Chain A
């Protein structure tokens, strides 16, 4: 595959935004692979995320968060102008309970994008990819709005950091 310049620019920023901010930082997963329309992440077992106090199995909500993040990330990068994609719906099928003290691997892929909707599939597994713990399908809206494009968000941040350059940044954005 040819070198993807746009992805090379987006990847570090997206990795930082997802791993170090808000809920992503609280969960503590690592993004292993970030390609256009494909995301892999690893999540360690954590005792403070247990959902079943009898067996010690991780709560399903954690798996919802992981798959939503992975699918959303795949959907964001697949667009011509990468931007935030609002989730329309998400469906999860739990195949088996997660085993204790083992990391969870998540893989998400975009399998179709139309002019308005991005269709995404994700899978979470532990030992064997052929025996997943959960499957997920998630659909995302493509919203054509400048305010949610990565570029505008980054510019906004930059402007906040460098108030003395405010005028010049605004000029270059309008051109």
Chain B
């Protein structure tokens, strides 16, 4: 993509981010990202926080004999959730760049809906640290936790 086109896309993106914040509609941000549609991630405003969820679908299975959700899908979902959390809640105009991503698997992800929520741990001048947790039946028994750094 050439420079001018990127500039136009950035302006369009900023417009949409502003509209999404105003209308309290984070789902419209997810709709802009093709990867979100690929894994089937969705989001809604729940009380004071954003609640993300990932309905089960056959293309997300990693181990067909259990069956269990692919570890990479859980990772990608949490990374996506962390990025949306930053775009929606913090005052950033561009897409945040992921620097590192660390994921701990606590339980196998069964073939059911996965929920996730994120918390911004620190926002510095350039770096943002976000922690994300994923669970299935009960929020107290998480299946994975992730910690990631983004450059904004």
In the complex, are the beta carbons of B99 and A93 less than 8 A apart? yes
Task: Spot the interface stretch: A33-41, A62-70, A167-175.
Answer: A62-70
Binds A, one of B29-37, B45-53, B118-126: B29-37
Contact, CB under 8 Å: B76 / A153: no
Contact of B59 with A23 in the complex, beta carbons under 8 Å:
yes
- Which of A17, A54, A61, A86 contacts B35, CB < 8 Å? A61
| Residue among B1, B79, B105 with the highest chain A CB neighbour number at 10 A | B105
Residue in chain A with minimal CB distance to B65: A153
The minimal Cβ–Cβ distance linking A63 to chain B, given in whole angstroms, is: 9
A48 near B38: Cβ-Cβ < 8 Å: yes
Taking a contact as CB atoms under 8 Å apart, the answer to whether B65 and A93 are in contact is: no
A15 at the interface (CB under 8 A from B): no
B70 within 8 A of A: yes
Q: Count the B residues whose beta carbon is within 8 Å of the partner chain — how many?
A: 43
Is B1 within 8 A of A65, CB to CB? no
Residue-wise interface mask of B (58-75) relative to A, using a CB-CB cutoff of 8 A (1 in contact, 0 not): 111111110100111101
| A25, A61, A68 pick with most chain B CB within 10 angstroms | A61
A147 to B70, CA, bound (A): 19
**Nearest CB in chain A: distance from B108 CB, A:** 7
**Could you tell me the distance in whole angstroms from the C-beta of A77 to the nearest C-beta in chain B?**
15
Range for the number of chain A residues in contact with chain B:
35 or more
Residues of A within 8 A of B80 (CB): 51, 59, 61
- CA A92 to CA B32, docked complex, whole Å: 25
| Identity of the chain A residue whose Cβ is nearest the Cβ of B82 in the assembled complex | A60
- Give the nearest-CB partner of A93 in chain B: B100
Docked-complex contact A22 and B35, CB < 8 angstroms: no
B residues sitting closer than 8 Å to A (CB atoms) are 1, 6, 9-10, 13, 32-35, 37-39, 58-65, 67, 70-73, 75-77, 79-80, 83, 94-95, 97-105, 108
CB<8 Å pairs between A and B, sample of 30: A21-B64, A22-B61, A23-B59, A24-B62, A26-B38, A26-B60, A47-B34, A48-B34, A50-B33, A51-B83, A53-B34, A54-B10, A54-B13, A58-B35, A59-B76, A59-B79, A60-B76, A61-B80, A62-B35, A62-B72, A62-B76, A64-B79, A64-B103, A68-B72, A86-B105, A89-B102, A90-B71, A92-B75, A94-B97, A153-B65
| Extra contacts besides A60-B98, A65-B75 (11): CB < 8 Å | A23-B70, A24-B62, A48-B35, A53-B33, A54-B13, A60-B76, A65-B70, A66-B72, A89-B103, A91-B100, A100-B1
A-B interface, 6 closest residue pairs, ranked by CB to CB distance from nearest: A61-B76, A65-B72, A22-B61, A59-B35, A26-B59, A64-B75
